[in-house]
Amino acid sequence: MRTLLFSTLLLLFASCGSIKVNYDYDGQTDFTSYSTYNYFGDMETGLSQLDEKRLMDALDATLGEQGYMFAEEPDVLINIKSTVFSTQQGNNVGVGLGGGGGRVGGGVSIGIPVGGPKMTRELQIDFVDANKDMLIWQAISESPFREGDTPAEKSEKLQAVVDKIFSKYPPE
């Protein structure tokens, strides 16, 4: 019984924190021809230095698993951009008041938002062919963001985002 309750709670929390990813790529590119990577030198990620290091560590590990090697003269240059924005929850409580008599009627209705704003991190990763200076692949993810996470939670969440982003790389 406990495992069923734990599994249900885990599923509930996992669904609340979903990561959405949109991809775009050059359909004419042969992604099997790339084996080395590096980062743009003048990259402004929008992340803190600590989060930037966490993200790059996650990227290095994931790209290493896919057979890529870090190089000074790379095939692919990687650019990273990140923004955090606030969105209003979609939940509202409606309160209505109405009245009328005879042929005349009227009413007033208002919606009261439930819950506060939700923080979301958008992370964009661009792969640029270093020889052609051409964008060949792009992923833009959106995931829940909480400022008060511990360093371990931040690393875990960034690794989950990177895993989700690279689950469909290279494109088929």
- Domains, the chain: 19-85+113-168 (3.30.160.670)
pLDDT, position 30: 95
Pairing between strand 92-101 and 36-39?
A: unpaired
Sheet harboring 76-87: ordered strands across? 20-25, 134-144, 118-129, 76-87, 36-39, 69-70
Residue count of the chain = 172
Q: How far apart are CA 68 and CA 74, in angstroms?
A: 10
Position 3 pLDDT exceeds 70: no
Sequence-separated (6 or more) residues with CB below 8 Å from residue 75: 33, 34, 35, 36, 37, 129, 130, 131
pLDDT, position 12: 40
pLDDT mean over 140-157: 93
Exposure letters 6-32 (e unless 16+ CB within 10 A, then b): eeeeeeeeeeeeebebeeebeeebeee
pLDDT per residue as tens digits for the range 120-132 = 999 999 999 999 9
pLDDT, position 118: 83
pLDDT, position 95: 62
Between 96 and 126, the more confident residue is 126
pTM (whole model) above 0.85: no
Cβ–Cβ < 8 Å for 52, 45: yes
Position 7 pLDDT exceeds 50: no
pLDDT, position 15: 41
The mean pLDDT value of the chain amounts to: 84
Position 45 pLDDT exceeds 50: yes
Q: What share of the chain is helix, strand, coil (3-state, %, to 5)?
A: 30, 40, 30
- For helices 49-65 and 151-165, give the axis angle rounded to 10 degrees: 40
pLDDT, position 147: 86
Position 161 pLDDT exceeds 70: yes
* Burial category of 138 from C-beta neighbours within 10 Å (exposed 0-12, middle 13-18, buried 19 and up): middle
Query: What token pair was written down for 172?
Result: 């088929």
pLDDT, position 107: 65
